[in-house]
A and B are shown apart, each in its own frame.
Chain A
Amino acid sequence: DVKVTQSSRYLVKRTGEKVFLECVQDMDHENMFWYRQDPGLGLRLIYFSYDVKMKEKGDIPEGYSVSREKKERFSLILESASTNQTSMYLCAAGSASYTFGSGTRLTVV
């Protein structure tokens, strides 16, 4: 099974900071995904990537960017964090079904 590791379980950042969320998979999957999870809204896709240096916008890309310089690593970047980006962020990898990381709970104050 693919293992997906997110670098932080909890983060607290200040409004306006640039925030990096890191995700690493330990197998050779082309597809990686970033979702945010909010109560009552479920999971919403932010960005995804099919391969190194390839990226596509999901349903809610505004305020975010991504980087995929190596196949195993997919980073989510909050260019200027805002309080409405306080959320649980989940990274996933896979094709027919996904393996998820444990999530990063980000609080922007």
Chain B
Amino acid sequence: GNSVTQMEGPVTLSEEAFLTINCTYTATGYPSLFWYVQYPGEGLQLLLKATKADDKGSNKGFEATYRKETTSFHLEKGSVQVSDSAVYFCALSGGGSNYKLTFGKGTLLTVNP
């Protein structure tokens, strides 16, 4: 079955530091890949997505590239802010007619001023 493995947290960075959160996946076929973010006390929000190999998703300064050869979708940001403190989830959709999402366990990011 499908699975997502992302780096365990928590991750603590200083403001303006470079961020990488690793995500690898196992899936049959050609999944779509997603990063969701959950701010404290809220539900999940879609941060970015990529639907095919070599696509780059980007939003709010975050980027991730769909690497089929390494089955990875690592999240990066060049300069984090305190407001980026949240839990980040990597997810994949197996496609087909049901669009079920499989999530990683989440990575807590704390950015200190």
Contact = CB atoms under 8 A, between A and B. Distances in A.
B28 interface: no
Given A98-B46, A102-B42, A42 B99 contact: no
B66 interface: no
Contacts, number: 54
Interface residues of A, number: 25
Contacts of A45: 100-102
B108 to A, nearest CB: 10
B105 A42 contact: yes
Interface string B34-71: 10100001111110010100000000000000000000
A70 B51 CA distance: 31
Nearest to B102: A45
B99 A94 contact: yes
Interface in A73-109: 90, 92, 94-103
Interface residues of B, number: 23
A97 B43 contact: no
Nearest to B49: A97
A46 B101 CA distance: 12
Contacts of B49: 96-97
A48 B98 contact: yes
A102 B44 CA distance: 8
B20 interface: no
